[in-house]
C-alpha cells in the first residue's frame, strides 16, 4: 500500500485531466505549492468533488506516487461560500490565487504565504463594497511581494537613501519610491501623491482597512503594484484582464 500523508491546503486551481480526473494546484500550510491528482473526480458518485473546488480550504489525505500524488480523502474546512455569491469577489479570489500560483515555485514551503492567502480570502468574503475589494487586492499584492522578499522601498529612496517623501516617484526597475534627484535613473517612474505614500506605508504596517481611498488612488495603486509584479513575474497575469471585464460590466450596468 502506498504511503499517505495529511496536509491542510487552499485550492489555487482545478484543471481537467483526461475524461474523469482533475489536477489540483494547492498551496499547502507546510509544503508550499504542490500539484495533486483527484481520480474519478468528475464521476457523479465522487465524494471529493465538493471539497476540491477553487479557494476551498481543505484537509487533504494524499498518497505518494512516483509522479503526481493522489488525493485519497478531502474534508472542507472553509468553503468561503459567501464569496462565491458575488461576481466581483469571485474574480478577486481567482486573481489572488493566480498571483500566488504565478509568483511561487513548487515544493518551497512558506507558511506566511499560506496565512496571507487565507486571511485575504476571508477579507474579500466579508468586504462590504467593490471599492473595499479593490483595496484588499492591492494590500494583498503589496504583502505578497514583501513575503517573497521583493518589498518596494517606501521609507527611503532605494538609490540614495533620501528619506524626504514629499516628491516621490514609483519605479519598478529601481525597486521602490525614487526621490526627485534620482529620477533620471528611471524616466518611466510614476509621480505619486503623499496619500499614496501613506497608503503604501499602512500596507507595510499590515493595515488594510479604515483608510479613505478614492477610485483614482486605487487605480494608481493598481498601476504601480501591477507594473511591479509584472517586473518580477515571468508571464502576464491572465486574471487582470478578467477583473477589467467585470469592472466594465459593472460600469455598463450602473447607467
Give the footprint of Zn ion on this chain (CB under 5 A). Answer: 157, 159-160, 162, 179, 182
Q: Which of 161, 132, 151, 147 is nearest to 228 (CA)?
A: 151
Provide the minimum distance between the beta carbon of 230 and Zn ion in the complex, in angstroms, as a whole number. 23
Nearer to Zn ion, 20 or 160 (CB): 160
Provide the minimum distance between the beta carbon of 183 and Zn ion in the complex, in angstroms, as a whole number. 8
Provide the minimum distance between the beta carbon of 168 and Zn ion in the complex, in angstroms, as a whole number. 10
- CA–CA dist 181, 149 (Å, integer): 26
The strand pairing partners of 14, in sequence order, are: 24
CA distances from 172 to 149, 216, 227, 240 (A): 14, 20, 7, 18
Please name the residues in contact with 102: beta carbons below 8 A apart, sequence gap of 6 or more: 233, 234, 235, 237
- CA–CA dist 251, 255 (Å, integer): 7
- CA–CA dist 160, 241 (Å, integer): 36
Q: Where are the alpha helices (DSSP H) in 130-214?
A: 130-147, 194-204
Nearer to Zn ion, 32 or 158 (CB): 158
Nearer to Zn ion, 79 or 162 (CB): 162
Provide the minimum distance between the beta carbon of 148 and Zn ion in the complex, in angstroms, as a whole number. 24
Nearer to Zn ion, 8 or 180 (CB): 180
Strand ranges (E), the chain: 4-17, 21-28, 32-38, 57-63, 69-78, 168-171, 176-178, 190-192
Nearer to Zn ion, 33 or 165 (CB): 165
Provide the minimum distance between the beta carbon of 166 and Zn ion in the complex, in angstroms, as a whole number. 13
Nearer to Zn ion, 9 or 177 (CB): 177
Provide the minimum distance between the beta carbon of 162 and Zn ion in the complex, in angstroms, as a whole number. 4
Nearer to Zn ion, 98 or 174 (CB): 174
Reading the block at residue 37, the C-alpha cell is 491528482
* Contact status, residue 214 vs residue 196, Cβ threshold 8 Å: no
Provide the minimum distance between the beta carbon of 174 and Zn ion in the complex, in angstroms, as a whole number. 9
Amino acid at each position: 500500500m502506498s504511503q499517505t500523508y495529511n496536509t491542510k491546503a487552499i485550492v489555487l486551481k482545478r484543471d481537467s485531466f483526461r475524461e474523469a480526473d482533475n489536477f489540483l494546484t494547492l498551496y499547502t500550510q507546510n509544503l508550499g505549492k504542490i500539484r495533486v491528482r483527484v481520480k474519478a473526480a468528475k464521476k457523479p458518485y465522487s465524494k471529493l468533488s465538493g471539497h476540491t473546488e477553487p479557494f476551498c480550504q481543505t484537509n487533504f489525505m494524499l498518497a505518494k506516487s512516483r509522479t503526481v500524488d493522489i488525493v485519497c480523502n478531502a474534508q472542507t474546512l472553509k468553503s468561503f461560500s459567501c464569496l462565491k455569491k458575488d461576481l466581483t469577489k469571485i474574480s478577486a479570489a481567482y486573481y489572488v490565487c493566480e498571483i500566488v500560483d504565478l509568483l511561487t515555485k513548487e515544493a518551497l514551503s512558506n507558511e506566511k504565504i499560506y496565512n496571507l492567502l487565507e486571511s485575504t480570502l476571508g477579507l474579500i468574503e466579508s468586504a462590504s463594497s467593490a471599492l473595499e475589494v479593490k483595496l484588499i487586492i492591492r494590500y494583498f499584492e503589496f504583502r505578497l511581494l514583501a513575503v517573497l522578499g521583493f518589498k518596494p522601498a517606501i521609507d527611503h529612496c532605494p538609490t540614495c537613501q533620501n528619506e524626504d517623501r514629499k516628491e516621490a516617484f514609483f519605479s519598478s526597475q529601481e525597486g521602490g519610491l525614487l526621490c526627485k534627484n534620482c529620477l533620471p535613473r528611471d524616466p518611466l517612474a510614476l509621480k505619486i501623491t503623499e496619500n499614496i505614500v501613506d497608503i503604501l506605508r499602512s500596507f507595510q504596517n499590515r493595515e488594510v482597512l479604515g483608510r479613505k481611498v478614492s477610485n483614482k488612488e486605487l487605480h494608481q495603486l493598481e498601476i504601480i503594484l501591477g507594473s511591479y509584479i509584472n517586473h518580477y513575474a515571468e508571464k502576464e497575469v491572465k486574471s487582470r484582464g478578467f477583473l477589467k471585464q467585470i469592472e466594465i460590466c459593472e460600469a455598463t450596468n450602473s447607467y
